[in-house]
Amino acid sequence: MASTTYAAETPFTIAVPEADIELLHKKLDLARFPDELEGAEWAYGAPLADIKRLAAHWRNGFDWRKAEAAINTIPMFTRDIEVEGFGTLNLHYIHRKSDVKNAIPLLFVHGWPGHFLEVEKMLPILTGSSPDLPSFHVVAPSLPGFGFSKAVKKPGFKSSQYGELFNKLMLSLGYNEYVYQGGDWGGILGAFLVPTLEHKHIKAWHTNIPLTTPPTLIRNPLLYLEMLLSPINKTMREELQATQHWFNAEQGYSILQQTKPQTIGYSLADSPVGLLAWIYEKLVAWTDNYPWTDDEVLKWISIYYFSRAGPAASVRIYYEMSNGGTKNILAGAPKATIPTGVSYFPREVAKLPRSWAAMFGKLVYVKEHDKGGHFAAFENPEGLASDMFAMYGKGGGAFGVVPGKNGYD
């Protein structure tokens, strides 16, 4: 059988045109801010004082060129990949290789409002060399329409297309067998694409957002009966109440992006202050008291503002994965049969009963962390990396799943 030929990769460096920076500054100069109710603080959304301070710093203090130079020290590439029915997508990705001969190939997939830099702090940890810990070759793509990946140009790009795109990326790098890690959309997409690529290509996977639909009598009879018969303890009750509150009070952004992404897209694309407020609120609300500096926030937001397709393209994944808001995003996700790991961070946006994690697949690793939130790789990189080491290290539930690649010298 003839082998598939893939396009060559191209080393990538960010070089935002000076004209784009000047336009950003002009727009910030002309920004018009809303008023604010007395004592509103965070109840109505991002506080006015915070957004004014950040906008002023973005205009007069933040040094994008310095941030750009720091990002460019990370090994980044682009590659043309053909996706059936959608033509060629030029995909941007990080590829940090380990010096360890038998390192494990790891596909790390981000979500919204994250991007490829979520993995930045984990790169030196995961690719390090230790006789007692596994090591990884880390591949972290920008989702289509995010960061510096080309955006999809027509409707219908769903989980199967993401699976084809990411698998072809890994194969093009010579990784026929690899493992997977995802949070936010990375975790949701993993729930769909891992079962379709398992065994042959994906050998094990881990998520830090163990979201699933409730068990049903037909699909999960034992778990369903257990849920009905088992008493709800205090912790479970509090977590379910917090999750219900999040769905009731914090999901307006998701409903809008699932149903009318083009409408919010005009604000995100044209107004840097609108983009800043839209994402900053999530950075603060979804993290575990993470001490954001203004420069960190603006570096994060600038990736969206200067993204290849513009920030509006990033929100369309909500529409595609929910069929325009007509179905539950997680509905229909099959169960994986490969080694599966889940980690719980205390400030994750939704907290479901731990027993439901069994619906993800063959559970071999479960970890409760005492700090961290939705952006676990960025907030608590040591904690999430320790999960990778425990799951794939000697004695771990997924040790040796990639033949000949145990991550040890």
pTM of the model: 0.94
Task: Give 3-state DSSP helix, strand, coil % of the chain, rounded to 5.
Answer: 45, 15, 40
| Residue 304: partners with Cβ closer than 8 Å, 6 or more residues away | 113, 115, 268, 275, 279, 311, 314
Query: Does any domain span residue 190?
Result: yes
Helix (H) / strand (E) element for 77: namely strand 76-83
Q: Which tokens is 297 given? A: 């926030």
- Show the 3-state SS of 198-238: ECCCEEEEEECCCCCCCCCCCCCHHHHHHHHHCCCCHHHHH
User: 375 with 114: CB under 8 angstroms?
Assistant: yes
Query: Does any domain span residue 223?
Result: no
Q: What is the pLDDT of residue 224?
A: 63
The whole-chain average pLDDT of the chain stands at 93
Question: Comparing 383 with 251, which gets the higher pLDDT?
Answer: 383
Q: Which tokens is 78 given? A: 């682009």
Q: Which tokens is 209 given? A: 């957002």
Among candidate residues 98, 95, 195, 105, the one with its CA nearest the CA of residue 402: 105
Comparing 10-19, 72-81, 204-213, 367-376, the range with the smallest average pLDDT is 204-213
Q: Is the pLDDT of residue 259 over 50?
A: yes
Q: What is the pLDDT of residue 346?
A: 93
Rg over alpha carbons for the chain, rounded to the nearest Å, is 21
| Residue 324: partners with Cβ closer than 8 Å, 6 or more residues away | 258, 259
Give residue-wise pLDDT tens across range 170-198: 999 999 999 999 999 999 999 999 999 99
Query: Does any domain span residue 110?
Result: yes
Q: What is the pLDDT of residue 84?
A: 97
Q: What is the pLDDT of residue 19?
A: 98
Q: What is the pLDDT of residue 106?
A: 98
Among candidate residues 73, 113, 128, 53, the one with its CA nearest the CA of residue 378: 113
Q: What is the pLDDT of residue 227?
A: 67
Q: How many domains does the chain have?
A: 1
The CATH number of the domain holding residue 345 is: 3.40.50.1820
Percent of the chain with pLDDT over 90: 80
Active site residues: 184, 318, 374
Cα–Cα separations (whole angstroms), residue 238 to 22, 186, 243: 49, 26, 9
For residue 2, what pLDDT band results from cuts at 50, 70 and 90? Answer: very low
DSSP readout, 321-362? Answer: HHTTTTS-TTTTPPPP-SEEEEEE-TB-S----GGGGGGGSE
Q: Which domain holds residue 141?
A: 72-216+332-392
**Measured between alpha carbons, how far is 284 from 46 in angstroms, rounded to an integer?**
9
What mean pLDDT do residues 305-334 have? 93
Query: Does any domain span residue 111?
Result: yes
Q: What is the pLDDT of residue 327?
A: 86
Query: Does any domain span residue 184?
Result: yes
What mean pLDDT do residues 153-180 have? 97
User: 287 with 374: CB under 8 angstroms?
Assistant: yes
Cα–Cα separations (whole angstroms), residue 84 to 81, 149, 223: 10, 17, 38
Query: Does any domain span residue 281?
Result: no
Diameter of the chain measured on Cα atoms: 70
For residue 59, what pLDDT band results from cuts at 50, 70 and 90? Answer: very high
Give residue-wise pLDDT tens across range 324-358: 988 888 888 888 899 999 999 999 988 877 777 78
Query: Does any domain span residue 132?
Result: yes
Query: Does any domain span residue 363?
Result: yes
Alpha helix (H) ranges present in 36-85?
A: 48-60, 64-71
For residue 217, what pLDDT band results from cuts at 50, 70 and 90? Answer: low
Q: Is the pLDDT of residue 1 over 50?
A: no
